[in-house]
Amino acid sequence: MSTLLTPLAEAISTIAADANRIASRVSAANEKQSGKLIFETIKTSEDPKIVKFREFEEAALAKVEAARKQVEEYVKANLIPTGETISDEELETLKSQHKDMRAKVKAATDLAKMQPDYTEEWLKSLPEMLTFRGNTGKASGSQTGVARPRLSGVKIDGIDFVSTKKDKDGNIVPSVTFTAVAAEIVKREKAAGAKDCALTAADLFAAAEATNSDWRNAASVEFSYAGKTANYMLTVFPQQASE
């Protein structure tokens, strides 16, 4: 090492150490004020006042969930007309039949697209096909289904949750969906011993809708899910049109 490099390295080390001390102070100050640290402290502290609050919160959430279930049962029994009951066996048969019908329609429209006189207007003139669950789909022969609500972020118990997926190029990219959130909660429940947990994306969507019918246009919506082993506070951030 040259005689010049040695003093330069010493000077850089001194400056870097001073800069790192500043950065550490700022980081520590920010961490002390962060919502994440506050949330984690409330969740884990054995301070008697905090323990008492956790017990109160758990009991309150359990009461809310129990009251909601009672109201749901009342609504189903008294306010919603009784519809046809389909057995699991018949449901599987109908699902298979519906799938075959969609495949036949797609094959027919694919053939039509190869004809010289085919037009998009012809495709749009076809009758609309419902999804298997009865939701409005698109024109016959096109991909069916309703638009899934898009999320820009989700917090589970105050902590950011992000999953990943493969994009069309095979790259792993961040992804936030109700499906991923439901899968995460199911994983936590099963790890805690609730092997029969069957939470779905549709359940979470319904909970968001019940909390705020216009939640898609809100900055965020907060609701809880009472699992068998724990209560989960979810904060959902809908993706806005401009995003």
Contacts of 150 (CB under 8 A, 6+ apart): 238, 239
Mean per-residue pLDDT of the chain:
81
Question: Model confidence over 146-197: pLDDT tens digits?
Answer: 445 678 889 999 999 888 877 777 778 788 888 889 999 999 988 888 888 8
User: How crowded is residue 176: how many other Cβ atoms within 10 Å of its Cβ?
Assistant: 20
Tokens representing 169 are: 């190029």
Higher per-residue confidence, 230 vs 213: 230
Mean pLDDT of 201-209: 85
- Beta-strand pair 136-139/151-156: unpaired
Lowest mean pLDDT among 41-45, 86-90, 118-122, 218-222: 86-90
- pLDDT the model gives residue 143: 45
Does the structure show a pLDDT above 80 at 93? yes
- pLDDT the model gives residue 149: 66
Q: What percent of the chain has pLDDT over 90?
A: 10
Does the structure show a pLDDT above 70 at 207? yes
Contacts of 97 (CB under 8 A, 6+ apart): none
Which of 88-92, 189-193, 212-216 reaches the highest mean pLDDT? 189-193
Instruction: Say which DSSP state 234 is in.
Output: E
Tokens representing 13 are: 């080390």
- pLDDT the model gives residue 146: 40
Does the structure show a pLDDT above 80 at 133? no
- pLDDT the model gives residue 13: 85
Question: Model confidence over 111-124: pLDDT tens digits?
Answer: 888 888 888 888 88
